[in-house]
Amino acid sequence: MSDWTVIEGGVTAPRGYRASGITAGLKASGLPDLALIVSDVDAIAAGVFTTSQVRAACVDYCRQQLQAKPSARAVLCNSGQANAATGAAGWTDAVDSAQTLAQVLNIAPESILLASTGVIGQRIKMDILKAGIPKLVEELSENGNAAVAKAIMTTDLVPKTIALETMFGDRPVRVGGICKGSGMIHPNMATMLAFVTCDAVVSPPLWQEMLSRAANRSFNQVTVDGDTSTNDCLIALANGASRTPAITGMGPEAEKLEGMLTAVCEYLAKAIARDGEGATCLIEVQVSGAQDEASANKVAKTIVGSSLVKSAIFGHDPNWGRIAAAAGRAGVHFDQNDLEIKLGDFVLMQQGQPLAFDRNAANEYLKQAKTGEYLKEDTVLISVKIGNGSGVGKAWGCDLSYDYVKINAEYTT
């Protein structure tokens, strides 16, 4: 059983945080497009970012800031323009954004981190953004999570948010998070945009280590379409407002905090996969018997990222051959005679041999996922065993529907 409980509030559930989200006019749709998260005090900051060689200015800006000083007071996000592949002008816009917000908040520009999302190659509409910042600051609230979660969305169908609480002695510690992402999801870091807040006291190096491990076990294990974004970022703040003893090294309390951080990231990652463009269900692949966790994760992600597997799930076809083929090409050595495959409770293959199974019932299992409860009964579970090793891993994705092609064929037109 987990050592924490789910609570309301998302990124404003931890003490000492406020958030806001407004419609500034950056999007032609008129939907919310400017978001802000602020800590009342300096917070330890950590980040994981896209590995793409084509990066948004905000990514390089955040990397530079965190290398110079692993702390921050605020995160500003616009969901109107990506500001990626915009050259020196895009960098100037990023710096100008931070300076403008810093003046309104009366803090140093170096205490501000940035994120952007939208169409690649489009600069931020700076006159609109700068005009919206005073209102954004004015609307900061300890109850601002719903507004900020909506303001970072682009093609997302639903806002994605979670908060957890646990006890450290007689004091509660909370971790909250929001994220956005629906398409261009195949991260080599985190995925799209994710923001996490925490009120524990953690040393900067340890907080970064925790976040990197959490990302590897969550955001790095989701895929929708095999495309890594130019703007991917995961930013986590820890402001110490819980007034619990400082965590400076691994131990029972550090393990508990990292477990809660990982659980927040995993929930958000699954929410992104479930909300994949055109998706009708979530796919979870569990792999066991590998030599190590990295090998198990590699096999799991290869299976869940297979277009043939994703298409079969959409068509309610229990085609285990596609699952076996994807496992075999993952680049992980195993004896095919050890391969076992399950679809839900249906055992399809054992010891490398196909088994008879109720195909109609398996087909019905896949159909039911379309109408199941969000992130519960809407999940298709694929379990694969590749040997007798101790390595286990998970990955998440979604089915590949006709709508995915339609959405992306018409994205800018």
- Supply the DSSP string of 237-279, one letter for each residue: EE--TT-PPPB-S-SHHHHHHHHHHHHHHHHHHHHHHHT-TT-
The structure tokens 């927040």 sit at 264
Quickly tell me which residue has 């083929």 as its tokens: 325
Structure tokens at 410: 């018409």
For residue 326, the SS3 value is helix
Q: Which two tokens stand for residue 289?
A: 């018997």
Question: Cα dihedral sign for 188, 260, 235, 76?
Answer: positive
CA separation (Å) from 30 to 33, 34, 79, 108?
A: 8, 11, 12, 31
- Judge whether 240 and 285 are in contact, CB under 8 Å: no
Beta carbons of 192 and 180 less than 8 angstroms apart: yes
Distance CA 131, CA 96 (A): 13
- In our burial notation (b when 16+ CB lie closer than 10 A, e otherwise), range 288-326 reads bbbbebebbbbbbbbbbbbeebbebbbebebbbebbbeb
Residue 191 annotated among the catalytic residues of the structure: yes
Return d(Cα 12, Cα 280) in angstroms, integer: 30
Which residue among the candidates 12, 117, 166, 191 is catalytic per the annotation? 191
Q: Which residues are 80's β-sheet partners?
A: none
How far apart, in whole angstroms, are the C-alpha atoms of residue 404 and residue 408? Answer: 6
Beta strands in 298-352 (DSSP E): 340-343, 346-350
Distances (CA, A) of 389 to 212, 216, 256: 24, 20, 26
Owner of token pair 């090409």: 329
Say if CB 151 and CB 21 are below 8 A apart.
Answer: yes
Place of tokens 């409860």: 373
| Beta-bridge mates of residue 395 | 285
Instruction: Kindly list the catalytic residues.
Output: 191
